[in-house]
Chain A
Amino acid sequence: MPAKIKVANPNRCINCYSCMLACSRTNANSVSLIDSAIDVRTSGGIESGIGIIVCRSCIDPPCARACPTGALTPRNGGGVVLDKDLCDSCKLCADACLPRAIHFDRADMPVICTHCGVCAKFCSHDVLELVKTEVM
């Protein structure tokens, strides 16, 4: 059964960035924040709340629909798969994603969540969970 990442308990977040560093370490082989598919943000400094932005695994993904080159295709279980060779960095996908879960790395490639669950493994506060999806 395919799995997807879920922000299960956002209010438990301590803003440690461990998830982001884990994502880039694993999926981009780098130590960085901008290579991470998940984004932890404080809206107005740390004294206000913390928001966690990650792909919400749409079943009929608007980002894929917006992509003019076919670089993004729906993924089994929700979300999308990126074919870098087809992407021309037009950024239309980013605009189509309401949660703003797509951003671009230094090479101007979209950073797309693969729903691998590594971020959840490195979250010490059970904010994130990898859950099984019913959809095949």
Chain B
Amino acid sequence: MWSNVLYIDLETGEHHTRDRSDLFDKYLGGTGVATQLLLEECPAGIDAFSPENPVIFSIGPLTTIFPCVSKVVSMFKSPMTGEMGESHAGGRLAMAMRFAGYDSIVIKGRAAKPSYLSIHDDEVKLKDATSIWNLSSVEVTGKILREVEPGKGRRSIMRIGKAGVNQVRYANVNVDTYRHFGRLGMGAVFGSKNLKAIVISGTEEVELPDMPAYKKMYSKLYGEVVDTEVMDKYHDLGTAANINVLNRLKGLPTKNLKQSHFENAESISGEYFADNLLLRKIACSNCPIGCIHIAMLKTQFQKGHEFEVSHISYDYELIYSLGTNLGITMGEDVLRLIDRCEQHGLDIMSTGGVLAWATEMYERDLITPPDTLGLSLRWGDTDNYLKMIDRIVEMPNKFYQAMAKGTAVAAAEYGGEDFAINLGRLEIAGYHTGPASIVGQIVGVRHSHLDNGGYSIDQKASSQQLSEEQMVDKLIYEDYWRMVNNSLVCCLFARGVYGEQNMVDALECVGIKKTRDELEAIGREIFLAKYKFKEREGFDIDKVSVPARFFETVSQLGMVKKDTVDNMLKLYRKKTGI
């Protein structure tokens, strides 16, 4: 129904739109269409920082039309992995793209000087960003742009921080202060393009073929979202509730995965945050859940009653990455670390992984003060970690340059590969639940725990005694169906509501008639198209090395055996044909 693609060339500042119903009819939108655009636009084998690397954004046919269909898919070649870069973000961006009338945006080239894009309905302008290029804070960048740009209340503002400007390979793109294109380094790609920010807004009034049927379906889905346990789970304590849960189950990666439980979990748990630090909750546009938990951190900066107050969003992955993984024992300290990464615009999951690896290297004398420029690294030492984060962004010497490239690269240079916790060159998510989590992150198209939810398959396996083959079947089912979810593009927290039948019915409301089987086939096709790109760029499942540490630390399902992982990978390849 919608298939308008905006192409922008940063080199010349020129832009044009093209109707791509050829792609949208076949691949729905979101991840399906973005993958095709990536295959078209990204020449084989280029460097991720080459001007030719495209940055692509896509929404889908249900975006803003139905509740919780609130995400945007971004795609690019990743400087972290050298293959598929894909990240999803919410905030207001999806809605702003819908009302600006762009279903996808493709950005290529490199601007001659620091610039930002201002997109309001049909008006697309490349503007000078020299004065904000080197700002130290992502938050301040947002404040300045809000003053000069129109679209108040309807606009979305994406921007990079110092980390993106300096091309730290896991720099993120901040979206509307509290959401991110977090993983795989799109922020660094922005930096390489001299692109500081994108502001987008629109005023379209969208009409649907059968309004009465649409209203009925909206009410049904809205009711399911607010009445199911989804609401409790994500709104109440939020994902941070998992800290205590996974700690009890021994699935919580701690101190560089030396442990899978944390003796001090209680004081950085979701319960602790909610009771002591939580200020309020907010939502992405068109999502009644409101899962974004915002904490208030009050710090004394001088004697007397001199305080500074910051508002910081937190969730499970952040508390794991900068909390348990670094042995931090107080919620307040976790917030200080999160805030520092946020201001620089760093992907927190990768930053935590790199810091944890470095701490263990230091513990074993494999790196020494001359490498760290005098900083000693100890588990739980927040002050030194804060300094280290600054140095990763500034890269004052060879060691910090290596750290800015991620755990896999740094370990290849300095050693400690057996405990460089990455899968497919990406630092892992906060789950050491068993083999499905490990296999899931290796095979997942973006090496994310969200590709196929391997952790939850492990959890099922612990109660239902699943065989290796059954676990692989479940991974594949998720891999295919989430391609459909991600093409619509609904929030994965609401995936329980957007099951097979609801997706079929919701699509019908916007005039897209697909059967369940057709949707599954599309999911599989998108998955294979992604593997086409991945393999073209050199990804090979057989070459992914799993650091020994994964097999040395007990998981929720007991010790994971290397044979199990190898066997599951073999089964996965056989069944998917990749």
For B287, the chain A residues whose CB sits under 8 A away are: 16, 18
Rounded to whole Å, the gap between the CB of B220 and the closest CB of chain A is 13
A46–B287 Cα gap in the complex (Å)?
Answer: 15
Contact B285 A29 (CB under 8 A): no
A26–B282 Cα gap in the complex (Å)?
Answer: 24
A84–B176 Cα gap in the complex (Å)?
Answer: 37
Is chain A's interface secondary structure helix, strand, loop, or mixed overall? loop
Contact A106 B205 (CB under 8 A): yes
Contact B203 A106 (CB under 8 A): yes
Contact A44 B222 (CB under 8 A): no
Q: Given A16-B287, A17-B286 in contact, is the A29-B204 Cβ separation under 8 Å?
A: no
Contact A47 B67 (CB under 8 A): no
> B142-189: which have CB < 8 Å to A?
142-143, 146, 152-154, 157, 176-178
Contact B285 A16 (CB under 8 A): yes
Contact B67 A18 (CB under 8 A): yes
A40–B288 Cα gap in the complex (Å)?
Answer: 14
Q: Does B268 contact A (CB under 8 A)?
A: no
Q: Given A31-B64, A40-B153 in contact, is the A47-B283 Cβ separation under 8 Å?
A: no
Contact B99 A45 (CB under 8 A): no
Rounded to whole Å, the gap between the CB of B123 and the closest CB of chain A is 15
Q: Given A14-B290, A15-B282, A105-B205 in contact, is the A33-B143 Cβ separation under 8 Å?
A: no
Q: Does B340 contact A (CB under 8 A)?
A: no
Q: Does A41 contact B (CB under 8 A)?
A: yes
For A105, the chain B residues whose CB sits under 8 A away are: 205
Q: Does B559 contact A (CB under 8 A)?
A: no
Q: Does A3 contact B (CB under 8 A)?
A: no
A32–B176 Cα gap in the complex (Å)?
Answer: 20
For B222, the chain A residues whose CB sits under 8 A away are: 18, 122
Q: How many residue pairs between the two chains, A and B, have CB atoms under 8 Å in the bound complex?
A: 93
Contact A45 B177 (CB under 8 A): yes
Q: Does A69 contact B (CB under 8 A)?
A: no
Interface size counted on chain A using CB atoms at 8 A: 30
For B290, the chain A residues whose CB sits under 8 A away are: 14, 16, 124-125
> A16-64: which have CB < 8 Å to B?
16-18, 21, 24-26, 28-35, 39-42, 44-47
Binds A, one of B52-60, B207-215, B244-252, B433-441: B207-215
A12–B205 Cα gap in the complex (Å)?
Answer: 28
Contact of B205 among A30, A44, A46, A125 (CB under 8 A): A30
Contact B283 A14 (CB under 8 A): yes
Contact of A16 among B152, B205, B283 (CB under 8 A): B283
Contact B288 A46 (CB under 8 A): no
17 other A-B residue contacts (CB within 8 Å) besides A16-B284, A31-B98, A45-B143:
A14-B280, A14-B282, A18-B286, A28-B205, A30-B206, A31-B206, A31-B207, A34-B154, A39-B153, A41-B152, A41-B153, A42-B153, A46-B178, A47-B139, A106-B203, A124-B289, A124-B290
Residues of B within 8 A of A (CB): 64-65, 67, 95, 98-99, 139, 142-143, 146, 152-154, 157, 176-178, 203-208, 211, 214-215, 218, 222, 226, 231, 280-290, 311
- Subset of 23 A-B contacts with CB under 8 Å: A14-B283, A14-B290, A16-B282, A16-B283, A16-B284, A16-B285, A17-B95, A26-B215, A29-B211, A30-B207, A31-B64, A31-B205, A31-B207, A32-B99, A34-B203, A35-B205, A41-B152, A42-B153, A45-B143, A45-B146, A47-B178, A47-B311, A124-B226
